[in-house]
Structures are given as C-alpha cells and as structure tokens.
Amino acid sequence: MSTDVLRQFAEALADAGLAMHKGRPVADGRLHRYRVAGDKSGSVNGWYVLHPAEKPFGAFGSWKTGQSETWTAAAPSSMTDAERSALQARMIEAKRARDAEEEAVHTTARQQAERLWEKAKLPDGMQLYLQKKAVPAYGVRLLRQQIVVPLRDVNGVLHSLQFIGEDGRKTFLTGGRKRGCYHAIGRPETALCICEGYATGATLYQSTAIATAAAFDAGNLQPVAMALRRKFPRLTFVIAADNDTETPGNPGLTAATAAARAIGAVLAVPKFSKGVRV
C-alpha cells in the first residue's frame, strides 16, 4: 500500500481526535489497538482496521469515547455497484471484529474494577475533594487517596471506576464501559434527577432528597437517561444541566437539552450572576 494512503488514513485519525501516539497504521485487514495521543501511558483505547484493497478502506474509533468511524480512500460515488457491495460486506465484518474485541476489553475492565473496588476502603469524610465540594461520600470509596466512584448499569452490574484526586482531576479505568452507566445516589420514589458529575449529584441529593444518577459527562447524559426511562417508565425525570456558559456551544446545556427531549424530562438549568451560581 502506498505511503500516501497510509498518510491519509493517519490524517483521518487525527482529524477525529484519535491520532496515534507514535508509529503509523498497518494495512493488513486486522484489528489493531493503539495509544491515542494525549492518553496516559500504557493505555490502548484507540482501535483501527485498514484493508489493503485496490481502493483501500478501513474503520477506527475509541473504546474510551465510544467513537466509531469508517474511511475510504475513494469516494463511494466513484465505486461500481459491486465495489460498494464488497465494501459494505467488509465493513460489517470489521464491525463484528471490533465488537468482539470491545467485549473482551470490557470484560477485562469489569474484572479489574471488581478487584479494585474490593480493595478500596470507605472514606472517612476527610478526603480533600469531598471537603472542597462540601458533600458526603454517597456510595463511593477511597483508594490511594483518590475517591473511587463505581460505574454500574441499570441492573447494578459494576463495569468500571472513576478516580477523583484531591486536586479534582478525574480519570477512568482503562477499557471500562461508560456508555449507559451511572452512579446512583438515593432510591427513586416519584422522581429521579440525572446530572453529570458526582459532586453535582451529591449536592442535588443533599439539597432536595431526590434520588440522583451521575452520568459522569455530557455525552453520557442521553444514554443514561434512556436506560433509566426504560427501567422506571412512570417516574418524573429531571435533567440537571451543567451550564457551560464560558465554553463555545455550551456542551453541558446542549447535551442536557437533548437528553430531556429524548425522554420527556424536565430540564433544570443553573443561573449565574457575576460568576456566582444563584
């Protein structure tokens, strides 16, 4: 395969925010895992498969973000019907390989999450992050001075862990499933609130006594909301938005609005006055 095609494929990875930390793609039709530029050392969240056909094509994505993209060296409009059919068949094959690999990655992460969760201890309330946020430890633990927040699905299965340092830095267990997983605070009775982070969820529950689910980030609000709506079809749902007024596009409010519309929930938006939430 020409170096020009490899360069184009590498550029497609970079354009999607999934540039390789080092090295270059290998066109052998097999699924490869790699470290995405900017990810922590030792992580292999990125994946790709590149087929060395007459008109090369491939797919790539990230198990960390849930991204999944397809790529071709030639525009589909320039292909014959037979070439398009062959491309579609091989893309389906690539997706099957990716799904199988993803399940293996998630299985390993689940096992590691269970081991680490068992090692973690109950916090004594003196952890600096909890003090800064002025919230209790609702269902979280402590491991090596980091708050450990479990990521569970609607059936209560532990899939991954989030680690919050004393400085507020947040990381996730490599390879763990996040989509549709959340951390539950309280038991829902007539209403359930869904927000992004643990501290926000703990504050909401502390202030309202309404059960809360922390979805961990804006991109996971809608998957969590839809999973919980299926589990609790009769509950009143409230989506509590992060009002990212200083971020272009206000991703927190945008994602919360989409999640509220998807399940017919109430949208709650914090207001700011001179930089202070009111």
How many other C-beta atoms can be found within 10 angstroms of the C-beta atom of residue 179? Answer: 16
Q: Where are the domains of the chain?
A: 3-111, 120-277
CB 250 within 8 A of CB 277: no
Is pLDDT above 70 for 273? no
75 confidence band (pLDDT: 50, 70, 90): low
CA atoms of 62 and 68, how far apart (whole Å): 7
Helices in the chain by DSSP H: which ranges?
3-15, 81-119, 128-133, 198-208, 221-231, 251-263
Query: What is the second-level CATH architecture of the domain 120-277?
Result: 3-Layer(aba) Sandwich (3.40)
φ, ψ at 49 (rounded to 5°): -140, 130
Q: How confident is the model at residue 80 (pLDDT cuts 50, 70, 90)?
A: confident
What pLDDT does residue 124 have?
Answer: 78
Q: Which residue in 214, 258, 260 sits closest to 237, CA to CA?
A: 260
Separation CA 239–CA 268 (nearest Å):
6
The top-scoring range by mean pLDDT among 10-19, 89-98, 169-178 is 10-19
Taking the mean position of all CA atoms in its chain, how far away is CA 54? 35
**What is the band of 77 on the pLDDT scale with cuts at 50, 70, 90?**
low
CA 216 – CA 181 distance, rounded (Å) = 9
- Could you tell me the CA-to-CA distances from 80 to 1, 53, 72, 87, 177 in Å, in that order? 21, 14, 14, 10, 39
Helix, strand, or coil (residue 244): coil
Amino acid identity, position 106 = H
| pLDDT value, residue 91 | 76
Stated pTM of the model = 0.78
